[in-house]
Every structure is written in structure tokens, then in C-alpha cells.
Amino acid sequence: MPVPVEIRIRTLATGGDAVGHPTTTHAGAPATWFVAEALPGELVLARTLRTARKHVVAAVEQVLEPSADRVKPPCALAGTCGGCGWQHVAPAAQLGLKLGMVKDALRQLGVEPVLGDAPAVGDGLGYRRRARLHYRKDGESFVLGFMRKRSDEVIDVPACPVLVAPLRHALTRLRRVAALLPAHGEVHALTDGKQVALGLAGVRPTDELRAALEECLDRVLVGVEIRGGRARIRVGTPVLEIDGGGGLPPMLASPFVFTQARADVNRALLRHVLGRAKPHGKRVLELYAGAGNFTRALARVASRVWTCDDDRESVGLLRKLAEAQGLPINAKHGDVAALIPRIASGATRYEVVVADPPRGGLGKEATEALAVVATERIVLVACDPATLARDLEVLVRHGWAIDDVTVFDLMPMTPEVECVATLRPATGITAANPAKPQA
């Protein structure tokens, strides 16, 4: 067993691990340590998990000098469950720490990120409206919850405190059919705030299971979709209408499509993207549009919105939304990363491009193509500051200027952070005369 090492924590890396250095150096030993669950300014004893050539990955063994931002976790499973990584961080301090992570990631670009206009975090509990849980069966035992930290073992979570009450209610009712489920699997859960739809992946539909699930339905749990291979059955109504109101049509969503976890901040995020995109009367291209979180707002004022996403179900739901609401949306299913270079090689251009890629970002080739496809504005939404910085650097080299980067906290109690970057052509750069790419 490695001897714990005394580490002084300096900052936080993207992803939430703390970065620090040993108080006593040894010849040949890595000077940089990444320590999970430590906070800036703390002095900790850290236990080595693995060693690389230039750094050590470690976990806190003991906090010798705690930060003022360290608190007792509100969840009894915080030291065991891997579902939330920041239960030990004071809720009021979490957004500032996330802003600091983004600032560090963008330092080389000379960008000063700011906080978005969004509801306060509060206590960081009872906000999640969607979740993906795991279950395991062993004889009569049924475990439903999240993975143990740094493990693929499922631990039972009877009442997760970060989930909204309707989700907790629905998951409790699902336990009634445990005997009819396979040995292991996933549960996808989504609520509109009042009603819940569940999705069971990798489950062979049977008449017995269908009947049992029908008995589980009530005024809160209104639908379950079962998917096993190519077989699918729906019990009740597993597609919900979410985030409508104020003149904005609701988005159609099932438990299997992506939706933001926090409804109130998502509304603020949507308003921000719409305000930065300035799509009024413009041709808009939206990449990784999903089921239309941003699309439905863009399409109300744009001349037309063309979208692309690689999730077939999300595209189908967006098409239904466009038809039902009479919105000028052309929704395409396809490989977004391959589509952008194809558009760039042709003559079609869009005044506004909005992109919300997955954690890996757009990537070099797609970002270079995006710099050509857009003519007036690019709004880039990202959930990873490091890949955002990489993609922004490419856009800047290809003639775009960063107006602002704004930070939103859609997932309290975790180090996850959402960023929105707005770009315009740099002075003297036009779509017809793009900057020559630098080597």
C-alpha cells in the first residue's frame, strides 16, 4: 500500500479533480498530482491510485487544512456513490469554482468568461429531472441506483436527494416489477415536473412484464418504454412535452433522448443562446440539435432552420414538433462531423450557426469547415471547457473573433459545467474572403 503524500492544492482541472504539488519533493517523482475531492488551498494527505510519467492520480486520504468551501455532504451515500462528485463543496461556492475551471481552460485565448443570468443554485438538491440508473439482481436481491465510485458495482439508492420528487416516486414504483427484469440493465428516467416516463433498455418485452408495468402506472408514472433488440413496446405514454410556455412550443422528449437535467437553468440557457444568435430573418444551421431544445426558439424568428443530429429518435421527435407547430425546420438525421465539411465544399452558407456538440467537441476538421460555413455568427455550446478551448482556438485561427463566453450551472453537486461561446468574423474578414488558415 503506497504511503499517503502531503499535497498542497493549487487549482481545479477540467472535470473537477484538484491539481497540487507535494510539499516535499523526491528526485524522479512526478511533481504534479491530480487529487479527486480536494479543493483549492487545501493541504491534504493523498493516496496514489495510479502513476504516469509526469503526474500522479490520487484520492484524498485526510484533509489536514480544509477549505472554507468544504462542507459535510448532505447525502449519506456521498462517500460511496459515484453519482455526484461535489457533495463536499458548499453549494454557494460551486458556480464560482466552475467559472474558475473555464477561465483556466481559456487562458491562452485571453478570454474572460462570465456567469450567465440564471436562477441561483440554492441547496443543490432536488433539481434533476432526468437520470440514468443501473440495476443488478442476485437471487432475491434487487439493487437500483448508481455506480460505486471508481467501480462498476451498482449500489442501491432508495431515494436520491438530487432527483426531483416525481422521479423518486416513479423509481420506487418500478421496484415492484424487479422479479420480471433481467439480471442487470439500465433505467432511463425523465419528468416534466409532474409526470414521469421511464425507459428500460435491453429488456425482452413479455405480456407478463407489460401487465405488471400497467399496474405500476399512476398519475405520476404515466409511461414506460421497453426496448430489447429490435422489439419495442410502450406502456402508457412514454413521450412527454417539456419546457413549453411563454409562447414557446414544448419539446417532445422520451427518456432515451438527451434533455438538460435542470429545467429552470435550461430556460435561461435557451434565452441566452437565442439572444446571442440573433436569428431574426436569418438562415440558421443548427448542429447536434437533438429533439429541438434550441430549434423551436430559433425557428420562431428565423427565415428557416436546418438541423442535423446523429440520434434518429431525436430527429423524429423534432420533425413531429415542426409539423405540429408549423415551424420552418428541416431536420436531418446524419453524421454531423462529416456533414459540415461537405457543406463547406459547396456554395451553401448560413448567416448563423448554432452547435451543441457532445463532450468531445466538434474536432479540428469540422471546426475548420464551420469557420467557412457560417457568415455572421457562431454560437457554440459546450459541456467540456477543454474541448471548447480547442475548438475556439481553431475558429480564431480561421478568422473568427470571440465576443464572449458565458457559464451556466445545469448540474449542481457535480463538476459539470455548460459554456456558451459567441463568435463573429474578425475585423476585415468576410464570408467571401475568409482568413487564410494558419499552418
Q: Active-site residue 81, yes or no?
A: no
352: its cell numbers = 448563423
372: its cell numbers = 467557412
Compute the distance between CA of residue 47 and CA of residue 240 in angstroms, rounded to an integer.
Answer: 46
Q: Which one-letter DSSP state was computed for residue 340?
A: H
Can you tell me which residue has the cell 480547442?
390
DSSP three-state, residue 217: coil
215: its cell numbers = 399496474
9: its cell numbers = 492544492
Q: Which of 75, 81, 160, 383 is catalytic?
A: 383
Q: Residue 61: count other Cβ atoms within 10 Å of its Cβ.
A: 16
How large is the C-alpha radius of gyration of the chain?
23
* Amino acid occupying residue 132: R
Q: How far is CA 321 from CA 246, 299, 302, 308, 353, in A?
A: 17, 11, 16, 15, 21
Which helix (H) or strand (E) element contains residue 378? Answer: strand 374-382
391: its cell numbers = 475548438
Q: Are 37 and 60 in contact (CB under 8 A)?
A: yes
Compute the distance between CA of residue 417 and CA of residue 103 in angstroms, rounded to an integer.
Answer: 12
Residue 131 φ/ψ, nearest 5 degrees: -160, 155
Q: How far is CA 90 from CA 6, 85, 86, in A?
A: 24, 12, 8
259: its cell numbers = 434533455
Compute the distance between CA of residue 46 and CA of residue 34 in angstroms, rounded to an integer.
Answer: 10
| Active-site annotation, residues | 383
